[in-house]
């Protein structure tokens, strides 16, 4: 009987902790400067600036949803229309002390492409946290490639 009470108490404690973590406010850090220990592509810096402009009046990003303009301009993706989770994808150049687990804990995913290059997917509201992950040297956003037909001379 005592074991059952301990189990129920432990289970309820875990549920309370999970619900508190889920409702945690995400502070708006898009207003801050990009950390100087990482280099960024022009596209990433532009996204950061635009996010800072769009979220300037927000204290918390918990319910933030990027505008359709930003989603289209930067190739952001919606994971689920009901949850309204929007993610950004890109590439990271990492060092040997890169902490891949930290990205998973913030709801992101990584795929190793080579020894020091990984692709990432991260919820847009967690992007400031991504920049704090140890071992990231460079961040790039994907760019569209336009395939053009070769020019031929008509004789």
Could you tell me the CATH number of the domain that includes residue 82? 3.30.70.2980
State residue 41's pLDDT score: 92
Give residue 88's domain range: 26-140
| 9 in any annotated domain | no
State residue 55's pLDDT score: 85
Alpha helices in the chain (DSSP H): 2-22, 42-54, 68-74, 100-105, 127-130
Q: pLDDT tens digits for the chain (155 residues)?
A: 555 445 444 443 443 434 434 446 677 667 678 888 899 999 999 999 999 888 888 787 878 888 889 989 998 998 876 667 889 999 999 999 998 899 888 889 999 999 999 999 999 989 988 988 999 999 999 877 777 777 777 65
Q: Domain count of the chain? A: 1
| 148 in any annotated domain | no
State residue 23's pLDDT score: 44
State residue 10's pLDDT score: 44
State residue 17's pLDDT score: 36
| 12 in any annotated domain | no
- Which residues does residue 90 pair with via DSSP β-bridges, in sequence order? 120
State residue 106's pLDDT score: 87
Contact 86, 78 (CB under 8 A): yes
| 91 in any annotated domain | yes
| 134 in any annotated domain | yes
| 153 in any annotated domain | no
CA atoms lying within 13 Å on the CB side of residue 54: 17
| 87 in any annotated domain | yes
Contact 150, 101 (CB under 8 A): no
State residue 20's pLDDT score: 39
State residue 83's pLDDT score: 61
State residue 90's pLDDT score: 93
| 132 in any annotated domain | yes
């Amino acid at each position: 009987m005592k074991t059952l009470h301990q189990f129920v108490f432990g289970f309820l404690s875990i549920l309370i902790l999970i619900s508190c973590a889920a409702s945690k406010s995400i502070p708006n850090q898009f207003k801050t400067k990009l950390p100087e220990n990482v280099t960024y592509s022009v596209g990433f810096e532009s996204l950061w600036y635009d996010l800072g402009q769009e979220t300037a009046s927000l204290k918390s990003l918990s319910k933030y949803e990027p505008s359709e303009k930003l989603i289209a301009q930067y190739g952001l993706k919606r994971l689920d229309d009901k949850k309204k989770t929007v993610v950004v994808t890109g590439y990271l150049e990492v060092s040997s002390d890169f902490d891949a687990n930290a990205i998973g804990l913030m709801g992101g995913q990584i795929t190793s492409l080579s020894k020091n290059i990984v692709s990432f997917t991260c919820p847009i509201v967690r992007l400031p946290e991504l920049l704090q992950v140890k071992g990231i040297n460079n961040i790039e956003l994907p760019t569209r490639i336009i395939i053009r037909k070769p020019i031929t001379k008509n004789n």
